[in-house]
Structure 1
């Protein structure tokens, strides 16, 4: 059973997918939508969920370094609620602190150009979120 990893931004949604065994995450796509138009993001995501056969989605919860929740975390919680209403899936919130930093570091070490990094950063952050979840399972 495949699992999807999600990195939610205000205008993008990075999507990663696990292998069939649920062991390895890989980047899939970055969805784009108007500022905080999460309904549009979900309408783009639903066919991907169906195509991948995913029943579990792992959504990053951006906590502050002290563990408190800010505006971005509240946005993720609302997105989770909307997504669970729209699809028959379980959405698991996981701490995503430093996932984007780790993704950027990995891409810099891989010698990706700044332009290419900008194109795939959301997908790679989703990979970090999903891989962390898979490793803890």
Structure 2
């Protein structure tokens, strides 16, 4: 099951994709925001190319858990994606993922000018990985024992 992760922003949309087993998320690309129609077309092309069945889009709740203006914009974009593509679009809490992505790039020694080009797709991969981790925990039963090697 291929899942696409999006970090929707005013200027750019970070994109990540999970592996075919749905275990790990990898940064894929960044879409430069042009218009709603063009953005949906760009995402649609990725959905077709990679056989995506679900889209997870970062939902920017405030630190206190309330919704702000950006949540409305993300929800509208998610609704347009779902209506146009006919696949589920999941809103997923993205609190502080861009800050986390910036910190990862800083610690990795990526020069500031290059960080801007990849921070959004890295944030998208953090959003998607958070979703994948939560989904895999749901599938595990608390009664399941871990097998140990002999």
TM-score range, shorter chain: over 0.9
CA offset at residue 44 of structure 1? Answer: 1.1
Residue in 2 that maps onto 1:29: 29
| 1:85-100 paired onto structure 2 within 5 Å | 85-100=83-98
The ranges of structure 1 where at least 4 consecutive aligned residues each deviate by more than 3 angstroms after the TM superposition are none
**Residue 5 of structure 2 aligns with which residue?**
5
Q: TM-score, normalised by structure 2?
A: 0.87
Cα pair 1:16 1:126 within 8 Å, conserved: yes
For 2:3 and 2:99, the matched residues in 1 are separated by 23
Aligned residues: 135
Alignment of 1:1-137 (within 5 A): 1-34=1-34, 37-137=35-135
TM-score between the two structures when normalised by the length of structure 1? 0.96
1:109 CA displacement: 1.2
Deviation by residue 1:37-81 (Cα, 9 ceiling, x = unmatched): 222111111110111111110000001111111110000100111
Instruction: Write the distance in 2 (CA, Å) between the matches of 1:92 and 1:44.
Output: 18
Secondary structure of the equivalent of 1:7?
A: strand
Looking at structure 2, the residues matched to 44 and 73 of structure 1 have their Cα atoms a distance apart, in angstroms, of: 21
State the superposition RMSD in angstroms: 0.8
Offset, 1:88 = 1.8
Q: Which residue of 1 aligns with 2:144?
A: none
C-alpha distance in 2, partners of 1:85/1:135? 27
Shift of 1:115: 1.1
Runs of at least 5 residues in structure 2 that lack an aligned partner in the other structure: 136-150
How far, CA to CA, are the matches of 1:112 and 1:12 in structure 2?
19
